[in-house]
Chains A and B, each alone.
Chain A
């Protein structure tokens, strides 16, 4: 095992957590990510192989699905992002490539994103100050691309709240924007 210590996207050794009123925002650094894009004319093969790899059908348009250990969300035509706990899947992209073979191009995206999980009763009221998604009717399992504080983000709706993936380099700005909205709306 190598001896470099990771920093979270917010620049600390430990993830940050903030609770304002009924809502908690938590940085989730321990998530491995890999993007999957079906090779030309391989969408069906790729989708089937991805389902086997995930243990659950590959997500459809704007969907997020969870298997036993792996989860994934749709990011474009015949393209998906796979998520996994980093400690159990440090080489997620390598494993995915092995499972999908020539049916897909796989790219490690673990370091590219900051993940912020927001939970609590009034998440919708916070999100309506941040992006134009209709969170009021967005059901759990929905994943959408949007813009928050000028930054391109993915927003995934869960039963307990939302997950926001934003560009890692903009993590501090994104976090500041979300915290400001929480103070404002709650």
Chain B
């Protein structure tokens, strides 16, 4: 019910919302939980395992019970806490884990079967037959026990990631956080103040006491207003700091649009911030813990502080008659506040003998609540006084005050363990906190408002002092400074089930069972019973569970210890972790200079690393890819083809020692490479395995351009930079990548020179005599455009690679096509490129597979013995030098139309396909339109000795089994006459 006055809600405006099929009204400032309570709704969900009726337990992010499916359609989100869901007009929520309805849940049968469904029951019960587990038992259990359902539709919202920097990150905007922020903000420090709530102020908004003659909430609002006006302070409400990471970095999730029906167009729903802080202060407050007693989980039973918060902040109460069950003075505060707001308080049941009296309320000292009644909501409680008769009190709500746990989670994210403070009967931050992090307020066990304000101010002063920022400590406002008077009390003894973990339906009995079965460490207790798991991570449950275990083992709570706290502090949507990196935006795409032209041609693209390369260029009438590829190959070999090869890595190597540097990088000789010439080079890894191949073109004595394979452009650059900086720092060598700077095109085929002569400016003689195979030069094209020309061939044809500054790449491609029309110049893609290099027997990435040496490639003699180079020595290891070892060979299908599968293994005819018979494997395969049959490259043991032999190429994976003839790897123009033409 809504109280007639008070609360931080806007009563002038009404918001309409729907829950469980019913429409209700609330006000701005409400949460879904407060609005439901205002409408008399106590039943909000069903429990995880026993499907027991449940209502709200807390008023914050620690909520274990009131979980709903929020929104509908693709935006439906399960396990959303009603306590943190800000009410908006049109909000729609459904209860979860209930069937057919929230009020009548058929699976509440589980509750009746609870003697059989104790912790660990399914580990023991569903042992046989083993095959039934996956197909029968697990699906049934998963249907019966669970939380909300996810939508299977793609998330329609977007999520941002971002980066923030500050001198001081303050986590939590309660009294300690606000005081810290005021101190640091006024001193001019760059401050970020983050709070998970939409209204800053923390418990000040939930309490009735005053600060400096102002209501606590008003003081908080005034402080927030002052901070908001400071340019050096960033206020971040609706922002949960989810983790403390290395080097003062914190993760923070800002829910920028969760309080709106949908995010505005183009705006994210949430932002995952990485906050770089020089110092941080944790002012995250404390979480109240319940006490376990029989049937302590009925709707209407809340933590005492939550009951008070609902009355003070939202002006609601679950019932008009309440009681409080407490072991400390804080429960009395709830009773007093509710009484002051016109709520009838039937009694305060205080476990302490000699509990203090309270005006207007009966205090039953040394008493315990031993049972409750009410099927879908609390109707009465049963009280056992210290002496005398058991009493039954008719109440609709009960506030349970078991003491407060400082919110230490973030202090433990780098493995610090909290320490037990007997004075307040709670764990407080201890051990080695994350560097730069300090703790103030209730999170540090400073429970009074005065202590929190003082702690916040002091920690801010210390942090600023550490940072060398001069600051004066502001005067502390007047505030209550009540001591914490608590006598620990964890659970009422009895036979009935008493809940410790509401979210996982873990009872005191379950802890007993865990103890009985030897699962006694807290970590084992957690795994055995599921205590502290799931969305709330046991924020209200963990201490009760380990206190019971401590009792059973006879250890102290300090000795028993806590489980590990890990990020994130509260659940984070997967979308927020992905940010913008999803779908087509998962990674950036690199486009070649001729990309737009290729798109116009209808090219089919393939991803190569991040590059989008044209795979083939279909023409009208071509119905499948091989028709296009065959045509491109034949046209290139028949006349001339053009291919964008910009993606190959280009590394500019300059300096007096450029050639000698390459001499050490490549296994073959480079020191004597003449200016104006290109040489093929093979790089080895340090361990002697082939790393990458490419060409190096010497443009000047002190200038060489190295090309790498597309995939290895970055690794080769990194490798060379490492060698330059770390291995040979005295060499005069400078490196820089120029991959992006030049648009480069391969022009291949018997008419390549004729085509080029129409483009290259006449001042440059590119005749075979003047510009032979493996020549290179800096030239101009198209009347003066600077260019580089390399006479190199991957296809085996007369071929050139022509490079111009990238911005002219598109125009050059169009010019080549226009000038080449008379030769029927044909653009070709990576498929035709691949076919031609297989036909020519050139190794590529498939062959340089990280296991292969120069010797395997048939290039053993390239590893120069006249010099040292990276990998040369280790390439000579005995294991890598087997004369009978793998060698690169060509493979020709005996039946030319029979396909050879890359990855197939080579076996003697008739030999079974087992590893012992393995002779080698196929690395690259294609249909050769030139040879009109299927061919391949592969490695086979003792390859040269097997020329002409027939083997099986068998692929157990695909079922392919082809007879192949072993041939030399050069299928086309083995003497190299074409490329020298």
Residue of chain B at shortest CB distance from A32: B805
Question: B206 an interface residue at 8 Å Cβ cutoff?
Answer: no
Residue of B nearest to A91 (CB): B786
Q: Which of B271, B652, B742, B783 contacts A111 (CB 8 A)?
A: B742
* Interface stretch (choices A50-58, A65-73, A154-162, A175-183): A175-183
Query: Which residue from A8, A111, A129, A177 sits with its C-beta under 8 Å from B740?
Result: A111
Provide the residues of chain B in CB contact with A180, threshold 8 Å: 266, 580
A-B residue pairs in contact (CB < 8 Å), sample of 14: A1-B784, A2-B785, A7-B810, A11-B591, A37-B734, A39-B732, A108-B738, A109-B741, A111-B807, A112-B738, A128-B164, A167-B740, A184-B267, A185-B160
B842 sits at the interface (CB 8 A) = no
A59 proximal to B (CB < 8 A): no
Chain B contacts of A35 at CB under 8 A? Answer: 736
Do most interface residues of chain B lie in helix, strand or loop, or is the interface mixed?
Answer: mixed
Those 5 A-B pairs whose CB atoms lie nearest each other, nearest first: A111-B806, A173-B588, A105-B654, A169-B590, A2-B785
Closest approach, in angstroms, between the C-beta of A138 and any C-beta of chain B? Answer: 10
Residue in chain B with minimal CB distance to A169: B590
Known: A37-B736, A40-B730, A176-B585. A111 touches B743 (CB 8 A): yes
Whether B656 sits at the interface, judged by CB under 8 Å, is: yes
Determine whether the beta carbon of B812 is less than 8 Å from that of A4.
Answer: yes
Most chain B beta carbons < 10 A, residue from A112, A132, A167: A112
Q: Give Cα distance in the complex from A129 to B161, angstroms.
A: 6
Kindly state whether residue A3 has any CB partner on chain B within 8 Å.
yes
Instruction: Give which listed residue, B165, B703, B738, B804, contacts A134 with CB less than 8 A.
Output: B165
Chain A residue at minimal CB-CB distance from B783: A2
Q: In the docked arrangement, what's the CA distance between A35 and B783, Å? A: 26
Minimal beta-carbon separation of A136 from chain B (angstroms): 6
CB neighbours (8 Å) of A134 from chain B are 165, 276
Residues of chain B lying within 8 A (CB to CB) of residue A185: 160
Contact flags A133-146 to B (C-beta < 8 A → 1, else 0): 11011000000000
Contacts of B271 in A (CB 8 A): 129
Name the CB-closest residue of A to B808: A4
Given A39-B655, A150-B587, CB of A184 within 8 Å of CB of B266: yes
In chain B, positions 646-675 with a C-beta closer than 8 Å to chain A are 646, 652, 654-656
- Nearest Cβ on chain B to A27's Cβ, whole angstroms: 12
Is B171 on the interface with A (CB-CB < 8 A)? no
Q: Are B655's CB and A149's CB within 8 A?
A: no
Q: Is B582 an interface residue (CB 8 A)?
A: no
Closest to A7 in B: B810
Does B104 reach chain A (CB closer than 8 Å)? no
With A173-B585, A180-B580 known, 7 other A-B pairs at CB within 8 A are A4-B781, A11-B810, A111-B741, A111-B743, A112-B741, A132-B274, A136-B190
Chain B residue nearest to A37 in the complex (CB) = B734
Tell me the complex Cα distance, A1–B783, Å. 6
Q: Report chain A residues within 8 Å CB of B165.
A: 134, 136-137
Partner of A7, one of B646, B736, B811: B811
**Complex Cα spacing A165 to B113, Å:** 67
CB distance from A7 to the nearest CB of B (A): 5
Interface size class of A (residues with CB under 8 A): 35 or more
B611 within 8 A of A: yes
A36 to chain B, nearest CB (A): 9
Known contacts A1-B783, A2-B784, A3-B782; A150 and B738 CB within 8 A of each other? no
Q: Which residues of B contact A183 (CB under 8 A)?
A: 266-267
Contact of A129 among B160, B652, B815 (CB under 8 A): B160
- Report if A40-B276 is in contact (Cβ < 8 Å); known contacts: A1-B784, A3-B782: no
A133 partner residues in chain B, CB cutoff 8 A = 163
Residues on the B chain within 8 Å of A149, using CB? 580, 588
| Bound complex: CA A138 to CA B600 (Å) | 43
B354 close to A (CB within 8 Å): no
A residues less than 8 Å from B784 (CB atoms): 1-2
Q: Does B589 contact A (CB under 8 A)?
A: yes
Which of A107, A181, A185 has the largest count of B CB atoms less than 10 A from its CB? A107
Shortest B105–chain A CB gap in Å is 42
B596: interface (CB < 8 Å): yes
The reply to whether A169 and B782 contact each other, CB–CB distance below 8 Å, is: no
User: Nearest Cβ in chain B — how far from A140, in angstroms?
Assistant: 18
Q: Chain B: which residue is nearest A148 at the CB level?
A: B588
Q: Whole-angstrom distance from the CB of B187 to the nearest CB of chain A?
A: 16
Q: Are A168 and B730 in contact (CB under 8 A)?
A: no
Q: Does A172 contact B (CB under 8 A)?
A: yes
Q: Is A151 an interface residue (CB 8 A)?
A: yes
B contacts, CB < 8 Å to A: 158, 160-165, 190, 266-268, 271, 274, 276, 580, 585, 587-593, 595-596, 610-611, 646, 652, 654-656, 702-703, 730-734, 736-743, 780-785, 804-812, 815
Nearest CB of A to B714, in Å: 10
Name which residue of chain A comes closest to B806, CB basis. A111
In the complex, the chain B residue whose C-beta lies closest to that of A176 is: B585
Q: Nearest Cβ distance between residue A133 and chain B, in whole angstroms?
A: 8
Q: Which residues of A contact B782 (CB under 8 A)?
A: 2-4
Tell yes or no: A119 within 8 A of B by CB.
no
- State whether the Cβ of A164 lies closer than 8 Å to any Cβ in chain B: no
* B743 neighbours in A (Cβ, 8 Å): 111
Q: How far is the CA of A183 from the CA of B163 in the complex (A)?
A: 17
Provided the pairs A4-B804, A4-B812, A176-B585 are in contact, do residues A132 and B190 lie with their beta carbons within 8 angstroms?
Answer: no
Any B CB within 8 A of the CB of A74: no
Q: Identify which of residues 58-113 in chain A touch chain B, using a CB-to-CB cut-off of 8 Å.
A: 79, 105-113
* Minimum C-beta distance from B520 to chain A (A): 45
User: B residues within 8 A CB of A129?
Assistant: 160-162, 271
Cα–Cα distance between A68 and B587 once the two chains are bound (Å): 39
Contact of B591 among A39, A41, A172 (CB under 8 A): A172
Point out the residues of chain A lying under 8 angstroms from B737, CB to CB: 112
A23 is an interface residue with CB less than 8 A from chain B: no
- Alpha-carbon separation in the docked complex, A177 to B162 (Å): 12
In the complex the two chains form, what is the Cα distance from A11 to B589 in whole Å?
Answer: 14
Which listed residue, A39, A137, A184, touches B268 by the CB 8 Å rule?
A: A184
CA distance A128 to B808 in the complex (A): 34
Which of A131, A134, A137, A169 neighbours the largest number of chain B CB atoms within 10 Å of its CB? A169
B387 CB to nearest chain A CB (Å): 65
CA distance A171 to B612 in the complex (A): 13
* Residues 1-20 of A contacting B (Cβ, < 8 Å): 1-9, 11
Contact of A39 among B160, B734, B741, B811 (CB under 8 A): B734
Complex Cα distance, B809 from A79, in Å, reads 28
> A109's closest neighbor in chain B, by CB?
B741
Q: How far is the CA of A45 from the CA of B962 in the complex (A)?
A: 67
Query: Of B160, B732, B781, which contacts A184 at CB under 8 A?
Result: B160
A residues less than 8 Å from B589 (CB atoms) = 170, 172-173
B300 CB to closest chain A CB, in angstroms?
43
Minimal Cβ-Cβ distance residue in B for A5: B811
Q: Is A174 part of the contact surface with B, judged by Cβ < 8 Å?
A: yes
Q: Tell me the complex Cα distance, A134–B741, Å.
A: 30
Known: A109-B741, A169-B611, A176-B585. A7 touches B163 (CB 8 A): no
Is A132 touching B276 in the complex (CB atoms < 8 A)? yes
Given contacts A40-B732, A113-B740, A136-B165, whether A174 and B588 have CB atoms under 8 Å apart is yes
Indicate if the CB atoms of B590 and A29 lie closer than 8 Å.
no
B808 and A11 contact, CB distance less than 8 A: no
* B-chain residues with CB within 8 Å of residue A173 when the two chains form the complex: 585, 588-590
Q: Specify which chain B residues have a CB less than 8 angstroms from the CB of A151 in the assembled complex.
A: 588
Q: Which B residues lie within 8 Å of A172 (CB)?
A: 589, 591
Q: How far is the CA of A168 from the CA of B806 in the complex (A)?
A: 9
**Residue from A29, A105, A167, A176 having most chain B Cβ neighbours under 10 A:** A105
Q: A2-B781, A167-B590 are in contact. Are A107 and B652 (CB under 8 A)?
A: yes
Nearest A residue to B161 via CB reads A129
In contact, B811 and A110 (Cβ under 8 angstroms): no
With CB as the reference atom, state the residue of chain A lying closest to B810. Answer: A7
Known: A37-B734, A128-B164. Contact between A29 and B807, CB under 8 A? Answer: yes
Residues of B close to A9: CB separation below 8 A: 806-807
| Docked-complex contact A7 and B596, CB < 8 angstroms | yes
Shortest beta-carbon distance from A127 to chain B in Å: 9
